[in-house]
Structure 1
Amino acid sequence: MVDVAHGKPAEFAGPAPSPASRLAPYALPIFLVLMIAVAGIISPAFLSANNISNMLLQAAPLGIVVIGQAFVIILRGLDLSVSSVMATSAVIATSFSGQNADVLPILLIAIGIGVATGVANGLLVTKRSVSPFLATLATMIVLQGIRFAYTQGAPSGNVPPLFRTLGSATWNGIPYNIMLLVVLAAVFWVLLAKSRFGREVYITGGNPTTARLLGINADRVTIVGYMISGGLAAIAGLVLSGYVGIVDNWVGRGFELDSIVAAVMGGISLAGGRGGIIGGLFGAAVLIVVFNAVLLFGLPVQFQIIIKGIVIVAAAAFYVRRSR
């Protein structure tokens, strides 16, 4: 017998995929829809236009960080410095006169610091063979110290109105920051999924030795990946500063873990070489929905921490199961 569809003997066609295996790639989106439905049944206010708009406002900064974190994790790394880059960008946003004329220099300085942090992380990982955990932890602490020395522990100043608009305003109910997230996601999805550099990222993350044998400069690819993560974290910090309005030295705290958890939940492998930006963004959406539901149901904010821990354990267990 011949398998007509594939032109090979039927005995080699393999068993038909089970319904569960067919649904596996869509497990997270299905889970997200079910969570939203359940939350809406428990509290109709959850599905109100105001609450949905508020969730989108909160999701944009995390989503921007997740895009950069996706590149790093696919390259077998992780970036703990993103939260410190975000806080530093927020402090820079309030270090000028607070007028829109300062937006361009703020952007250039903030993104420059983020990219420079990424270069430092990449060099430590590739040239000095420092583990990504220790390398990015070190740059996080260094940035934190510089930030505290600069602000004397108490940042002051106003965020330019343009950042306030970008971070907290809406157009016909659609937040401007979610529009920015969509644009960035589209640009970096094309870069990762359709470009030569994207193929080099997956090959390097899958097996750096193979990448070198194929003529790929694995060190350069890794450094660029960290630069992307740092630059996007800087942008996320500026967006978040516009959302919160009042800046302190801890803006963005927790985003380093949240972005890693979102990426892993979205199917990005900690072993490198697998996953994509869209999955990571779905993971971020799950976290935002969970955190919002906790507050809307009137539970103490401490439940967010407990649930975050449970989500981390579940994501780790899911990752191990998928690897097997």
Structure 2
Amino acid sequence: MKTLALHNGWMVTNIQRGASWCLGLPPAYAGTALLLGCAALARTNLVAPMLLLLILRQAVPLGVVTMGQSLTIRCRSLDLSVGGVVAVVAYLLTSGVLATVSAPIAVLLSVLFGAGVGAINGMLIVRLRASAVIVTLAMSMILTGAVIALSQFRASGDAPALLTVFGSVRFAGVPLAPMVWLAILIPFAAFLRLSVFGRLMDAIGANPKAAELSGLPHLRVLFIAHVVSGITSACGALLLLSFVGVGSVTLGNDLALNSLAATVLGGVTFGNGRGGVAGPAVASFMVVFLFNFLTSFGLGEAGHLILQGAILGGAALTYSLRNGAEQRI
């Protein structure tokens, strides 16, 4: 009887630990599982392997942008200039402005442009202590407005062949883009977990004032986070172009808000990187799958805007509830 009681107690303890672990997971995991279950019942074609791989490829640009966005949010900042960076990169590569240079050089210049925008954002936020919301939103508006003005003289066209080939290449039936995304995610996660920079980011996000008083380079880390966000925004634009194939002034205009939602739903909130790198990646797939799922029911542009607002509101509510629960504990 004593052995049986010990065995039952061990089982109850493990069940409690398992339940606690599941409840501690970012909302994106449960949301993705729920969406896949609903699709399996209502839209079985969406869970077919080939279509899932296609949706995964669609999620890659958002997933890459979310990587940089998660860094800024972990530092208690954010980046709303993503849409402007994507618009400029798409215009540079499809309007013929960089036609005199080779495609690899044009791609490199686009990434450097993203880094430059991130550096300007970071400099204004760090040196002038300006609001990240105002700085990055203003940057996005300036860049988007410049693209709209320039497109009146030289319209956007087709993406370079290098990008379209990259977007269509498959290995054993698997698109190349998700493989590249995974190849970036793994070392990115290892770097944040094992490096001094990752530990500094956790310390600064947890308590910026204490980090400043302790002599930690909190401003430098914040600056680097915005530079990385600019680079990932440019990379997201390249990946989006490889999938779409043509440029547009509205290309990627929803990436900034969707990346914010994916970051929070993935378990990364202001000053808290509990979701790591995997959580926002799963959330990126969840957001794109949700749009595809509802589009299969005839959801139009107005419905997409409503859904986007609902996702952002849900992400904000999730953050508020979790933050309140942590404070009570």
| Shorter-normalised TM range | 0.7 to 0.9
Separation in 1, partners of 2:313, 2:209: 31
Q: Is the 8 A contact 1:116 1:227 kept in 2?
A: yes
* Matched position secondary structure for 1:276: coil
Q: Is the 8 A contact 1:97 1:157 kept in 2?
A: no
How far off its partner does 1:214 sit? 3.2
**TM-score normalised according to structure 2 size:** 0.87
- Tell me the amino acid that sits aligned with residue 22 of structure 1: W
Superposition CA RMSD, Å: 2.4
Separation in 1, partners of 2:128, 2:281: 32
Separation in 1, partners of 2:173, 2:155: 32
Q: Is the 8 A contact 1:57 1:168 kept in 2?
A: no
Label 1:146 to 1:299 Cα distance change in 2 as closer, same or farther (>3 A): closer
- Tell me the amino acid that sits aligned with residue 178 of structure 1: P
How far off its partner does 1:20 sit? 4.1
Q: Is the 8 A contact 1:89 1:110 kept in 2?
A: yes
- Tell me the amino acid that sits aligned with residue 259 of structure 1: S
Equivalent runs, 1:1-324 vs 2, <5 Å: 20-26=19-25, 27-96=27-96, 102-152=102-152, 155-272=155-272, 274-324=274-324
The superposition leaves residues 244-289 of structure 1 with CA deviations (integer Å, 9 ceiling, x where unpaired) of 1110112111100000000000111134565422111111111111
Identify unmatched segments of 5+ residues in structure 1. Answer: 1-15
Separation in 2, partners of 1:49, 1:209: 49
Separation in 2, partners of 1:190, 1:156: 39
Runs of 4+ in 1 over 6 A off after TM superposition: none
How far off its partner does 1:77 sit? 0.8
301-310 or 186-195, which moves further after superposition?
301-310
How far off its partner does 1:312 sit? 1.8
**TM-score normalised according to structure 1 size:** 0.88
Q: Is the 8 A contact 1:55 1:288 kept in 2?
A: yes
Label 1:45 to 1:301 Cα distance change in 2 as closer, same or farther (>3 A): farther
- Tell me the amino acid that sits aligned with residue 21 of structure 1: S
- Identity across the alignment (%): 30
Separation in 2, partners of 1:62, 1:271: 21
198-207 or 164-173, which moves further after superposition?
164-173
Q: Is the 8 A contact 2:55 2:289 kept in 1?
A: yes
Separation in 2, partners of 1:153, 1:179: 38
275-284 or 152-161, which moves further after superposition?
152-161
Label 1:17 to 1:256 Cα distance change in 2 as closer, same or farther (>3 A): same
- Tell me the amino acid that sits aligned with residue 64 of structure 2: I
How far off its partner does 1:103 sit? 2.2
How far off its partner does 1:150 sit? 3.5
- Report the equivalent of 1:13: none
Separation in 1, partners of 2:153, 2:133: 26
How far off its partner does 1:129 sit? 1.2
Separation in 2, partners of 1:295, 1:273: 32
Q: Report how many aligned residue pairs link the two structures.
A: 310
Label 1:97 to 1:153 Cα distance change in 2 as closer, same or farther (>3 A): closer
